Amino acid sequence: MDKFDRIYRLHGLLANRRQPIPLTNIMAQLECSKATANRCIDDLRTHLNAPLVYDRDANGYHYDQHADKPYQLPGLWFSAEELNGLLICQQILSNISPGLLSQHISQLQQRIGKLFKLHQHTPIDIANKITLLSTGRRLTDDSEFKKTATALFAGKQLHIHYRARADNTITQRDVSPQQLLYYRDNWYLVAHCHYRNALREFAIDNIRTAHIISHNAHSTEPEQLAQFIHASYGIFSGNAQHLAILEFSNTRAQWVADEHWHPQQQSLWLDNGNYQLSIPFNDSRELIMDILKHGPEVTVIAPAFLRTAVISHIDAIQKNYQQPPDNLTE
């Protein structure tokens, strides 16, 4: 009988008995020594928070509990490897959820630590073992993020003041939150906009103020929501109107071939060793930026307007470097 079997057996003995159970009876039922029985008792108390007490008068152990709320063992058991996986998830949540889940994550971490001790393992210092590097994260104040998430989970509408970064204008609108979207180190709210009467994406860092209102949020069919989020390339949502065909050099292809750009992407290895990638898109702005970061290792094959747009960006970049800056130093 292993450690966990003994704990289950001990819990069964205590849960089914109204009178205190002497230690000798526990030893007999668990088929173990006095030292092992005492360790099981201690594990049940310390790591599983069981209300296990010793009655000196009766010379036995019993659960100190109310009859209407009997103590139950946790429903899930984890191996050490699974606990490590939970710790990794906890660390990821700590990094991508600014303040939203901090209290709950802390409680989870404490529970995981106790389970590690039950396995006779020392919990790893996850913060010193895993680092998540973020680039381009914009959210600095999590107050509106918390309100947005609260409204989403409660199924309530939000009244927001939203700043459009393109022209710096601020508009007011009521929205029905549908989903939080984490994309390239930033959070977005997918919501039904009652002002536009359509689905829209709002960058959380551009929500200047958010107030939860009493109206229930309008719901969107999951299929419609998935189509809105995933149909076209990047953060610019909506139905894909175009198909970009990109050809990567055989050198860069070794990396790009393993990358996931879009759920509906199509790829083809060419006879010359180059790699062709086809991506549906609607708005070309983000796609152009991702094309340019590959420099001369990629060529836009189609459509023609996308190829022209990339050439225009390259020309503009060249103009920036035609004249050296006045304060240029070697």
Q: For the domain 3-63, what is the CATH code? A: 1.10.10.10
- The sheet with strand 170-183 has its strands ordered as 198-203, 186-193, 170-183, 156-163, 207-216
Query: Which residues make up the CATH 1.10.10.10 domain(s) of the chain?
Result: 3-63
pLDDT band of residue 310 (cuts 50, 70, 90) is very high
Inter-residue contact 181 to 200 (CB < 8 Å): no
Query: C-alpha angle 108/178/288, rounded to 5°?
Result: 100
- What mean pLDDT do residues 115-130 have? 63
3-state secondary structure 139-194: CCCCHHHHHHHHHHHHCEEEEEEEECCCCCCEEEEEEEEEEEEEECCEEEEEEEEC
Tell me what pLDDT residue 324 has: 80
Q: 251-292, pLDDT tens digit by residue? A: 999 999 999 999 899 999 999 999 999 999 999 999 999 999
Q: 214-260, pLDDT tens digit by residue? A: 999 999 999 999 999 888 888 877 788 999 999 999 999 999 999 99
Q: 153-165, pLDDT tens digit by residue? A: 999 999 999 998 8
242-320 fold:
Alpha-Beta Plaits (3.30.70)
Q: How many CB atoms lie within 10 A of CB 133?
A: 6
Q: 46-101, pLDDT tens digit by residue? A: 878 888 999 999 999 998 876 567 787 765 556 566 667 777 777 777 777 655 56
Q: 7-35, pLDDT tens digit by residue? A: 878 888 888 887 899 999 999 999 899 99
Tell me what pLDDT residue 156 has: 96
Q: 141-154, pLDDT tens digit by residue? A: 677 888 998 999 99
Query: Which residues make up the CATH 2.30.30.530 domain(s) of the chain?
Result: 143-230
143-230 fold:
SH3 type barrels. (2.30.30)
Query: pLDDT averaged over the chain?
Result: 85
Res. 183: pLDDT tops 70: yes
Tell me what pLDDT residue 81 has: 67
Res. 330: pLDDT tops 70: no
Output b/e per residue, 223-254; b: 16+ Cβ within 10 A: eebeebbebbbbbebbebebebbbbbbeebbe
